[in-house]
Structure 1
Amino acid sequence: MRRANPRQVGFICHSCASLPAQASRQPFPSRILSSAPRQIAQSSVWRSTPARWATSVSASRADAEADAEANEKAVPASTPRPLTDASQLANVAEDSCNKFLSVDGIPAKQLTAAALQSCLRAASALHPQLKRAEAQFKASASKLVSLGAERTGARVPIDAKLVDATSRISHAAYAIISNPNVEMTPEFLELYVAIQSQLGQPESLPAVFELYANKPKPVVKNGQIAYLKQNPNAAARAIEPAVADMALQAAIDAKNLDSALGIIEASYSLPAFKRQKLIKHGTAPAIGLATLPFGIFGLSTAYASYWQNTMDISTATGIGVAGISGYFLVIGSLGMIAKLSHKDQMKRVTWTPGTPLRYRWLREEERAALDKVACAWGFKEPWRHGEEMGPEWEGLKEYMGYRQMLLDRVEFMEEQQQQQQHQQHEAPSTEVTLALPMAVSVAPSTPPQQEIVDAEMSGVPAPEAEDGVAAPVEGQEEEEEEEEEEEIKSEVRDLQEDVDDDQAVFEHQLDSTM
């Protein structure tokens, strides 16, 4: 700490601080006489300051210790210790469910949300324990057993208390959401899906999705509860893509193929989902397409009136309408075809040839969900795609066939394409290797022409072929060619004579008829 100035510490107020300045104006003798008492006073004040400083420091330390003790006493009261026991968490969820079900009449939305949030908190607190138990099983069990459990979707053997608590929390949430007096809203459905996702229990999600679409709405009429029937195909009854994706991921994590396909059928495949997509993504393009003719006519009129002077207004307007309409028609058609037929996002599931483009656009989320399921249940290695076997895989392929989809289309598989290209590169080389021995075997059978000429000049008979037949001589070959030409010419002359005879007969008959 910086050393304090004695002069500053000794001053008590500003009036005292001004005294030395006044004393400096006094005569020299008087200043000498008055300096001694002032020094004594300053030294006495300086000696008293350490005690005052020490007392203030000790007081501040005492206050800090008192505040710390008060905070330590207040922390346990303000933040209660979270529950970690599985049975206690299940009891909390069941108590909330029982209190909610004891309410008469139509419960308020806040009360329903509070009951579901209580179950969600219990499920979130139980989720780390479930993951820890699964990790311990995988660490203790053999690699083959863990892989078999992952492939078949078998339940990992965990503590019975955790299994019982998971089942109790799941049943409590289902009892709340399936109460006839509870109106199904997107918020409640999202909470329920989050609860089952944390617990790893996706078996009830397809039924709850169907309940969301078909559950009657409770209303109060004349003091009694009445239930209004809902239209399951209405766009308002469609399940949000984020909620459906969360439910599908929960089924994939649990390795439950039936639940995954049921979730897809109860969410992406329904007419309500397609109508909602059509309204969300098709309204703006439809409005633009409806207003396009007016814009084209306005541009054409402006072109005819202000941007040209070689034609009359009506002719220029017609030409402008035709040109602009043709441009938008061609470019718009190409853009729409490119948008609806792109396949970059497809991995293993593709559309069957001949599927209309409008169906592909409306059902793209369904195809993507099935593609996600196929990637989760099949081999992860791309070079092993297409080697999957088993009843579940065959059933999945057949199910996709009913939905106008193909699983592992050969021409779109990377490994198959590479094999075909490799075979195409190898095919010409095999043809060359097969042709070379034939050429080698045929070449020695005919003697060179130079040997024949040398034999004729020397008077030695020409060499014979391997089969004992004499090799042809050059003069003989020319004679044979001349004979063949003469035969051909004679045949042509005979044909010409026949044609002339027929023509003469025809003319004679024609003259006789005339």
Structure 2
Amino acid sequence: MSRPTTLPRPQSVCQICDSIIGRRLYSTKPALSSRIATRPRSQISQNVPRANSSQKRLLASAVLPTKKTISGSSKSRDALEEQDKKVKPTPRSARDELSSVTNMMTYLEKNKTRVLSNRRIPPESDVNAALQACFVLADYIMDDSVQPQISHMIKESDSAAAELLSLDSTKGSRSKTSETMTAHITAQVKRIIDEISNTAYAVLSHPPVFITPELLEKYVDVQARLVRPETFSQIFQLYASKPMPRESSGSISYVAPNPNKVANAIESKVIEKALDVAIEKKNIDAAVGIIENGYGTKAFIRNKLLRRAVLPAGTFAATPFAAYLLASNFSSFQTAMDSASATNVAFVGILTYVGFTASLGMVAFTTANDHMKRVTWAPGVPLRLRWVREEERAALDKVACAWGFREKWRQGEEEGADWDALREYIGQKSMVLDQAELMEGMDY
């Protein structure tokens, strides 16, 4: 039996798929577009229609005919799966850590408990993970662009605030309600910030935790993001004097360290960052404590001598040998005296020239005060101490400039208990605050 010529030709699989899915999507498009402005994004995705299993099979056969270009169906499937993995979004569990205030606190408490509940010496990776969690939350909380989202989280999670809002709105005092809610949200944000700061301090001050330079820098980053410099001096002290844990036969013992060791010196960039936070917060006690436990320690001075004085000292020690070799070579170029006498004369001349020039350079370097603004050295301080303690003087100078008047013509007129205490502290360090001879217009 022959096929009638009047019957329509069958449609292709692509056309069938387009007609089936297109009708469904078209039918829901007006209702979906009308509800976009009033529904959250999570509800919008639920209204999009999904194709059933037969439609998915048709769609797969219609959209993926190019699989044959790759040799073998298994290879094409693997290639497509790899492509899907590349564009796979971030796991929902990682994104949900900051989706609400409760999740934030849970995320923070989980990392804190992992360190504090460990009966053995916590590994550095767990401590670093706890501090990293604090830094992530601190960076999120202190970001101005997410402050409205945090306020919305607090409004949704706090039922008491919602009840207060409804009661006040019935009385018609909407302005008072708004102020109350703003104060409540501010208090909640401050509580979260306090919890993050306290968690970081509790983790690093935990007795079995050994503070490494990386952990100390991470802690300073966390507190700097939160603008909380109050604990920097205590942590700097712990870094140098905290007993080192030792685990043996299931028990932990502690060994008292030497706080003056070179290894216990804090890096200058870490101290500088902590000092900037204290100045930003206008906390003069924290600033002085940071300088005292950072630049003013023997460990920092020894570390500076080891890093910056070894090469000059080695050069100075090798100078006589180099001068004698040069003198012995120069003696062969003359005939006025014997070789031994010429060598001695040349040796003394070279040492005299090098010693005199080096002395002038050292005096000029250690007595230069063009970079000093308000804090200078007291008369009689040895030049070697001026060079060794230059970072401490520069830090105190920075603090004095931050707390004093900006106008140069008003400097020296500051008053108050904090300023008097700072002046007295600087005097105890063999330094002078606002030396009259060096002030502008007082060079008589």
Q: TM-score, normalised by structure 2?
A: 0.70
Give the whole-Å Cα distance in 1 for the aligned partners of 2:202 and 2:145.
Answer: 23
1:235, 1:275 within 8 Å by CA — same for their partners in 2?
A: yes
Structure 2 match to 1:202: 229
> Residues 273 and 257 of structure 1: is their aligned pair in 2 closer, same or farther, counting only changes over 3 Å?
same
Structure 2 match to 1:341: 367
> Residues 103 and 87 of structure 1: is their aligned pair in 2 closer, same or farther, counting only changes over 3 Å?
same
Give the whole-Å Cα distance in 2 for the aligned partners of 1:231 and 1:199.
Answer: 32
Give the whole-Å Cα distance in 2 for the aligned partners of 1:339 and 1:195.
Answer: 38
Give the whole-Å Cα distance in 2 for the aligned partners of 1:108 and 1:90.
Answer: 23
> Residues 62 and 130 of structure 1: is their aligned pair in 2 closer, same or farther, counting only changes over 3 Å?
closer
> Does structure 1 residue 121 correspond to structure 2 residue 136?
yes
Structure 2 match to 1:272: 299
Structure 2 match to 1:161: 188
- Which of residues 107, 124, 130 is equivalent to 1:109? 124
Aligned length: 338
1:92, 1:122 within 8 Å by CA — same for their partners in 2?
A: no
2:291, 2:395 within 8 Å by CA — same for their partners in 1?
A: yes
- Which of residues 87, 99, 102 is equivalent to 2:114? 99
Alpha-carbon displacement from aligned partner over 1:470-506 (angstroms, at most 9, x marks no partner): xxxxxxxxxxxxxxxxxxxxxxxxxxxxxxxxxxxxx
> Residues 268 and 380 of structure 1: is their aligned pair in 2 closer, same or farther, counting only changes over 3 Å?
same
Structure 2 match to 1:234: 261
Q: How big is the alpha-carbon RMSD for the aligned residues of Structure 1 and Structure 2?
A: 3.1
Structure 1 match to 2:239: 212
> Does structure 1 residue 258 correspond to structure 2 residue 285?
yes
Give the whole-Å Cα distance in 1 for the aligned partners of 2:145 and 2:426.
Answer: 34
Structure 2 match to 1:83: 98
Q: Which runs of 5+ in 1 are unaligned?
A: 1-53, 134-155, 421-514
Question: Following superposition of structure 1 onto structure 2, how do residues 284-363 of structure 1 map, counting pairs within 5 Å?
Answer: 284-305=311-332, 307-363=333-389
Give the whole-Å Cα distance in 1 for the aligned partners of 2:205 and 2:418.
Answer: 31
Give the whole-Å Cα distance in 2 for the aligned partners of 1:73 and 1:336.
Answer: 63
Letter in 2 for 1:343: N
The CA deviation at 1:309 is 2.1
1:382, 1:415 within 8 Å by CA — same for their partners in 2?
A: no
Structure 1 match to 2:436: 410
> Residues 256 and 90 of structure 1: is their aligned pair in 2 closer, same or farther, counting only changes over 3 Å?
farther
Give the whole-Å Cα distance in 1 for the aligned partners of 2:297 and 2:126.
Answer: 31
Alpha-carbon displacement from aligned partner over 1:16-48 (angstroms, at most 9, x marks no partner): xxxxxxxxxxxxxxxxxxxxxxxxxxxxxxxxx
Give the whole-Å Cα distance in 2 for the aligned partners of 1:316 and 1:361.
Answer: 39
Larger Rg: 1
1:75 is paired with a residue whose SS is coil
Give the whole-Å Cα distance in 1 for the aligned partners of 2:297 and 2:184.
Answer: 36
Give the whole-Å Cα distance in 2 for the aligned partners of 1:72 and 1:333.
Answer: 66
Q: TM-score, normalised by structure 1?
A: 0.61
Letter in 1 for 2:268: P
Give the whole-Å Cα distance in 1 for the aligned partners of 2:138 and 2:310.
Answer: 40
Identity of aligned residues (%): 41
> Residues 283 and 71 of structure 1: is their aligned pair in 2 closer, same or farther, counting only changes over 3 Å?
closer
2:252 is paired with a residue whose SS is strand
Give the whole-Å Cα distance in 1 for the aligned partners of 2:91 and 2:233.
Answer: 43
Alpha-carbon displacement from aligned partner over 1:317-355 (angstroms, at most 9, x marks no partner): 011011101100100100111111111211111111111
Question: Following superposition of structure 1 onto structure 2, how do residues 352-431 of structure 1 map, counting pairs within 5 Å?
Answer: 352-417=378-443
The CA deviation at 1:77 is 4.6
Give the whole-Å Cα distance in 2 for the aligned partners of 1:89 and 1:374.
Answer: 39
Letter in 2 for 1:216: P
2:275, 2:287 within 8 Å by CA — same for their partners in 1?
A: yes
The CA deviation at 1:91 is 3.5
